[in-house]
């Protein structure tokens, strides 16, 4: 089952994508795709609905972030050994956990705003894990019981603010529009092995990242369990699980970064693809 949100910013409605790729309106069933809608009982109810019985959404509406109302956007740094190597960093012994501002949340086709005076805005294709039930001190064996589904994410990063403006990464990750999420959340029953998913990122039609979740250092169940030891995960929360090699920071011999007017496309097999444009900040 693929759940999404469509409509103008701040006025999104819940939807379901049917097998033919048509958006079906779920607003008569649930108020939004949020933590309440991701409870196991609600998802089971939605799964029993014949999409053909729901109103078809006509036209080409804007698609918003596939989940809303979360309390936490959690990110994991350097979770692919080959990405750590390209950036010159050591492979971490434990997951590197940081927070992405909720204000960064963005639709999968919305513009990415290059921050004022930024010269090091970068892309990161990531598998996102969507939490369905509260996870607090959970074991690895129980971790997947708390997962509702998965989505494509782009952990857009301003590298100067991340690495050159003090010791915390959060500053470089939380700019407005730096968290495109979606186009939809795919429930976990349709993703039998989250550790075997192809993932990619193109900039202006040229492949930059070509990886797989197979090469994660810490897998999904390890991450959910680990994060739950220090941050309580609530329904609707999202974990960005790290990125494979191919980001601008790692380009040899000279790193290069995004500028206004470029197209960034990131995707994961079975989860969909985002297409965004970069625009200059206008303040």
Tell me the pLDDT band of 30, cut-offs 50, 70 and 90: very high
Contact 131, 233 (CB under 8 A): yes
What does the alpha-carbon distance between residue 273 and residue 184 come to, in Å, rounded to a whole number?
9
pLDDT tens sequence across 85-98: 888 888 899 999 99
Q: Which CATH superfamily is domain 73-280 in?
A: Fumarylacetoacetase-like, C-terminal domain (3.90.850.10)
pLDDT over threshold 90, residue 210: yes
What does the alpha-carbon distance between residue 15 and residue 46 come to, in Å, rounded to a whole number?
11
Instruction: State residue 83 phi and psi, 5-degree precision.
Output: -70, -40
Beta bridge partner(s), residue 107 = none
pLDDT over threshold 90, residue 123: yes
Tell me the pLDDT band of 71, cut-offs 50, 70 and 90: very high
pTM higher than 0.85, yes or no?
yes
First to last CA, the chain: 40
pLDDT over threshold 90, residue 168: no
- Taking phi over 0 as left and psi of -120 to 50 as alpha, with beta for the rest, 123 belongs to beta
pLDDT tens sequence across 214-253: 999 999 999 999 999 999 999 999 999 999 999 999 999 9
Longest distance between any two alpha carbons in the chain, whole Å: 56
pLDDT over threshold 90, residue 268: yes
Cis amide linkage into residue 139, ω under 30° from 0? no
- The whole-number average pLDDT for the span 145-170 is 94
pLDDT tens sequence across 51-64: 999 999 999 999 99
| Strands ordered across the beta sheet of 272-280 | 112-114, 272-280, 263-268, 198-203, 206-212
Q: Where are the domains of the chain?
A: 2-53, 73-280
Contact 179, 106 (CB under 8 A): yes
pLDDT over threshold 90, residue 167: no
pLDDT over threshold 90, residue 190: yes
């Amino acid at each position: 089952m693929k759940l999404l949100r469509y409509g103008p910013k701040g006025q999104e409605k819940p939807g379901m994508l049917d097998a033919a790729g048509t958006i079906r309106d779920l607003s008569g069933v649930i108020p939004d795709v949020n933590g309440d809608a991701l409870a196991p009982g609600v998802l089971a109810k939605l799964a029993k609905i014949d999409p053909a019985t729901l109103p078809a959404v006509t036209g080409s509406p804007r698609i918003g972030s596939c989940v809303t109302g979360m309390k936490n956007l959690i990110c994991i740094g350097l979770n692919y050994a080959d990405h750590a190597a390209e950036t010159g960093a050591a492979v971490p012994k434990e997951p590197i956990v940081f927070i992405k501002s909720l204000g960064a949340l963005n639709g999968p086709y919305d513009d990415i705003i290059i921050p004022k005076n930024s010269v090091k805005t970068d892309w990161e294709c990531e598998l996102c894990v969507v939490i369905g039930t509260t996870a607090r001190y959970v074991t690895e064996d129980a971790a997947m019981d708390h997962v509702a589904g998965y989505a494509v994410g782009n952990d857009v990063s301003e590298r100067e603010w991340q690495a050159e403006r003090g010791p915390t990464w959060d500053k470089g990750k939380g700019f407005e529009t730096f968290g495109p999420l979606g186009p939809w959340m795919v429930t976990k029953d349709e993703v039998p092995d989250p550790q075997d998913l192809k993932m990619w990122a193109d900039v202006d039609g040229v492949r930059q990242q070509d990886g797989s979740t197979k090469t994660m250092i810490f897998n999904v169940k390890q991450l959910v369990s680990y994060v739950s030891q220090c941050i309580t995960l609530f329904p609707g929360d999202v974990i960005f699980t790290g990125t494979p090699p191919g980001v601008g920071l790692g380009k040899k011999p000279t790193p290069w970064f995004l500028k206004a007017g470029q197209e960034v496309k990131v995707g994961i097999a079975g989860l969909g693809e985002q297409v965004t444009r970069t625009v200059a900040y206008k303040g």
